[in-house]
Structure 1
Amino acid sequence: MPTVAPLDLDGHVVTAAFIGDTPFFATASGNIHRLDSGEKVTEAHQGLLTCIRDPWSDSLISGGEDGRVVRTTRDGSITELAVVPRKWISVVAGGPQGAVAYAHGRSSFVQLADGSQKEFPVDRTVESIAFAPKGMRIAVARYNGVSLHWVATPGQPVDLDWKGAHTYVIFSPDGRFVVTAMQENALHGWKLDAKVGADTRHMRMTGYPAKVKSLSWSPKGKWLASTGAPAAIVWPFAGKDGPMGKAPLELGTRADIMATHVAFHPLEEVLAIGFIDGMILAVRIGDNKEALLRRPGKGAITSMGWSSNGKLLAFASEAGDCGVVDISA
């Protein structure tokens, strides 16, 4: 049976993630807690709106109501990357070679390691940004679609259009697909290696009873897990056309208890599913075998993050009851 080391924090916890073997918990108040020979706290923002684990470096990147973009490293030290007075920074992304993207209003910005900055305006409010897995390229989610920009090359963006509000964007690990979560109860995807205008370019993933607020790719990109239902909805992406014409898996089904966060194991096709009642299940793709990682708690699971070796899982909740699950026990 997995063991749980609990941590009670005040208020909504936005993000749980590991840097090395150290778990970090970012709260909406702006404090970042880490469990490193005891609990230690760094004040990163006056009101934190977003915090991500940078996939390209051992750090967190966060944005806040104070207009600041901040990088937090393993020892808890922070570096201010950008500041935009009187703006709320609710969109950030980490990229290769120390690059960081952020947005406010109708503009997205990429700041390179040397401090130089490039702006990429769009017609409507920027909702989300993602870096491609290869090359210095970003996807910007907006109303009616996604815009793809090469950071180092001037020129017009590639516009991937689909009517509706796109609130979150993610590249597949191999870079062949871009997928968005929409304001309606659906995902939408584009096959980037299809010919422009081809019917196979679009991928509609519908049928959710609620909005999708969490997405996670399996280690090799064969599966994309999502919330938005009283189970994890997991789409197959192994074929050249992704999930088109295929039904998704439904893992960890719990009657009317909605899944609120999903996080694939970093090494195996095992999915952690957090629910609105605070429960966490792990489900293995191959045989649908379930393991209870945490019993219900005080609030909905808002974030989960695995350690690099996949033996520890940090989790956070909207009520502040957080912790670390040790699955090697």
Structure 2
Amino acid sequence: MPTVAPIDIDDHCLTAVFLDDVPVFALASGEVVRLDHGTHRHTLHDGLLCSAVGWDGKSLVTGGEDGKVMRLGADGSETTLRAPARKWVSAIAAGPQGAVAFAEGRAATVLLADGTERTFEEARTIEGLAFAPKGLRLAMARYNGVSLTFVHGSAPAMDFEWKGAHNQVLFSPDNRFLVTAMQENALHGWKLDGKPGGEQRHMRMTGYPAKVKSLSWSNKGKWLASSGAPSAIVWPFSGKDGPMGKAPLELGQRADTMVTCVACHPVEDLVAIGFGDGMVLAVRIADSKEALLRRPGKGPITSLAWNRPGRLLAFGSQAGDCGVVDIAG
């Protein structure tokens, strides 16, 4: 039977993560709480807007309303990557070799581990950032599509166009697909393994009753789980055309409340699903078998994250009633 260790932080939790095996909760106020043999509080920003876990799983990079970009280590070390500035940092991504990208307005800046900086300008505001799983390649989501650019070299960016506002972007783990969450109630995707110069292959994933705010790939990229409906909508990506022509799975269906957050298990084909009333379920993809991990709480679940072995699940809520579930009890 799963056991829950609650922690009441009393502030809107934007991100719950594990750094190594330390649960960390990043709050909208700009404070970050670490549970490492006691409760440790770090004031990183005057208003937090975005965060991303480093590729090694040992640090959290954050951006805020104060224009700062910070790195918090699992051991509590704080590093200022960019000093306060006038513009808000609205999107952030961590990449290979210690690279960090952050967006402010129409510009995205990449900071490399050796101190090199590169800035990329777009015609419209950049809403989302992601690094490709291989090579230093950055995706920038914006109005009417995504731009894909290599950090090194001077090759022009590749444009993946689709009308509308794209506010999140992510690569599939096998680098075959690029997917965005849109301002309208839909996801959009492109195949990346087409012939150079060939026609772009699109994937439309529509029918959501609400905006999709949470996306998570299964451990091998076979499935993409999403929020935005009364169940977790899980699209199949194992075929060469991804989800085209296939219906998604609907897991953890509830009639009276929406799914607000999803997190795929790092080892098993299993999804943790958070709801608008604070409930958290774990659902197996193969047979839709459900296990209750947490009863309803004070506010909607805003973040879910597994530790690397997949035994512990951290959760954060809009009301600040957060915690860690041990699924083995």
- TM-score class, shorter-chain normalisation, is over 0.9
How far does the alpha carbon of each residue in 1:160-203 deviate from its partner, in whole angstroms, 9 at most, with x for none?
A: 00000000000000001000000000000000112367667100
CA contact (8 A) 2:172 2:217 kept: yes
The alignment covers a number of residue pairs equal to: 329
Are residues 1:226 and 2:221 paired?
Answer: no
CA contact (8 A) 2:54 2:98 kept: no
Counterpart in 2 of 1:326? 326
CA contact (8 A) 1:42 1:77 kept: no
How far apart, in 1, do the equivalents of 2:197 and 2:251 lie? Answer: 34
Counterpart in 2 of 1:120? 120
Counterpart in 2 of 1:137? 137
How far apart, in 1, do the equivalents of 2:200 and 2:46 lie? Answer: 46
Counterpart in 2 of 1:235? 235
Counterpart in 1 of 2:38? 38
Match of 1:303, as an amino acid? Answer: S
Secondary structure of the 1:274 match is strand
CA contact (8 A) 1:133 1:174 kept: yes
Match of 2:30, as an amino acid? Answer: G
Secondary structure of the 2:281 match is strand
Counterpart in 2 of 1:76? 76
Equivalence map 1:160-239=2 (5 Å): 160-195=160-195, 201-239=201-239
How far off is 1:154 after superposition? Answer: 0.6
How far apart, in 2, do the equivalents of 1:199 and 1:270 lie? Answer: 35
How far apart, in 2, do the equivalents of 1:327 and 1:47 lie? Answer: 33
How far apart, in 2, do the equivalents of 1:320 and 1:162 lie? Answer: 37
Are residues 1:111 and 2:111 paired?
Answer: yes
CA contact (8 A) 2:278 2:296 kept: yes
Counterpart in 2 of 1:3? 3
Counterpart in 2 of 1:304? 304
How far off is 1:55 after superposition? Answer: 2.6
How far off is 1:264 after superposition? Answer: 0.4
CA contact (8 A) 1:46 1:64 kept: yes
How far apart, in 1, do the equivalents of 2:249 and 2:151 lie? Answer: 36
Counterpart in 2 of 1:150? 150
Are residues 1:61 and 2:61 paired?
Answer: yes
How far off is 1:83 after superposition? Answer: 2.8
Go from structure 1 to structure 2 and tell me whether the alpha carbon gap of 1:86 and 1:63 turns closer, same or farther (over 3 Å shift). same
Counterpart in 2 of 1:265? 265
Secondary structure of the 2:190 match is strand
% identical equivalent positions = 65
Are residues 1:286 and 2:286 paired?
Answer: yes
How far apart, in 1, do the equivalents of 2:10 and 2:217 lie? Answer: 30
TM-score w.r.t. length of structure 2: 0.98
Match of 1:268, as an amino acid? Answer: E
